[in-house]
Amino acid sequence: MALLNYAVAAAVAERAPGGLRWFLLAGWLLHAAAIGIDTTGIGTQVQGARFGFAPALSVTLWLVISVYVAESRSVPISGVRRALAVLGAIAVLLALMFPGELRPHAASRWAPIHWVLGIASYGLFGAAVLHAAMLNRADRQMRLNLQPARLVGAGAPSSAAPPTGLPLMRLERLTFRFVSAGFVVLSMAIFLGWLFASPWRWDHKVVFSILGWLVYAGLLAGRRRFGWRGPQATRWVYTGAVLLLLAYVGSRFVMEVLLNRPLGV
């Protein structure tokens, strides 16, 4: 049902925002129910959460859509609903096709906290990517609107509608707030993993996670020291997100799907 509602929301035109919004909301709620079933093991003989690249991607996309749902209640955000519906449908479909492994027991009592922090950081950085994309779009639209104004005169009004419902500066602040929050949560996840992993392994997941952490550390330092903003900053946001995607989702996809070799969490 979540897949169906996301698919309908993706098919509804942006000119009909009411229907799109409600179908997206219904898909989001049903998506949450599906994640709850997978996490608690309801309806299965063995209790435990499922882990794999598709469940991780599903939870991440649900968290990103949650941010959109929360923000859209106070600020009309346009231009991203269809993209979120498409991504949500893909995430649910992948979770159905590749449900992952059922793991009833954790190797450490701290492991569930490590997993939750890791997925939460994915969601926060995913929200940062969403806002960075809206920021780039708004910045491009503003530059396009300024070009005719320069030709006609400084007082020429812009005829193009704003691509998002958020001002440019607010989008930028929100982007860096999500980056900062994601960086803190990712730092805690990496620290717990290092502290309680037995033994600590420098595998692909750890290497890509550390590289992503370094990228976001560099972005926050550059923002504070040099005032990085606009496309220069969003490129760092995208680069860090790709590295984190490769850290867990990408590596597990290769091992589970392409090589058919299940991995540890």
Q: Are 224 and 201 in contact (CB under 8 A)?
A: no
122 and 239 share a domain?
yes
Q: Answer yes or no: do 94 and 113 share one domain.
A: no
Q: Final residue of a domain: which of 77, 105, 133? A: 105
Q: Is the dihedral of CA 253, 257, 258, 259 positive or negative?
A: positive
Domain count, the chain: 2
Q: Evaluate whether residue 156 is within a structural domain.
A: no
Pair 126, 91 in one domain: no
In a domain, 244, yes or no: yes
What is the pLDDT of the chain when averaged over all its residues? 80
Report the predicted TM-score, pTM, of the whole model to 2 decimal places: 0.82
Domain span including residue 262: 107-145+166-265
The answer to whether residues 114 and 230 belong to one domain is yes
* Same domain membership, residue 227 and residue 139: yes
The CA distance from 182 to 125, in Å, is 6
**Residues 179 and 59 grouped into a single domain:** no
Pick from 105, 124, 158: which residue ends a domain?
Answer: 105
57 and 95: one domain?
A: yes
What pLDDT, on a 0 to 100 scale, did the predictor assign at position 219?
A: 97
Tell me the HSE value of 116 on the side-chain side, using a 13 A CA sphere.
7
Tokens 């709620």 — which residue?
29
- Are 190 and 262 part of one and the same domain? yes
82 belongs to a structural domain: yes
Predicted confidence band of residue 150 (pLDDT cuts 50, 70, 90): low
Q: Does residue 158 lie in a domain region?
A: no
150 located within any domain: no
- 87 with 201, same domain: the answer is no
Residue 159 lies in a domain: no
Can you tell me the distance from the alpha carbon of 7 to that of 26, in angstroms, rounded to the nearest whole number? 11
Residue 161 lies in a domain: no
Indicate whether 49 and 84 sit together in one domain. yes
pLDDT at 154 over 70: no
Q: Are residue 250 and residue 223 in the same domain, yes or no?
A: yes
Residue 176 within any structural domain of the chain: yes
CA distance linking residue 58 with residue 91, whole number of Å: 5
| Higher pLDDT pick, 244 / 154 | 244
User: Do residues 7 and 42 share a domain?
Assistant: yes
In tens, the pLDDT along 159-217 reads 444 555 677 888 899 999 999 999 999 999 999 888 876 666 777 788 899 999 999 99
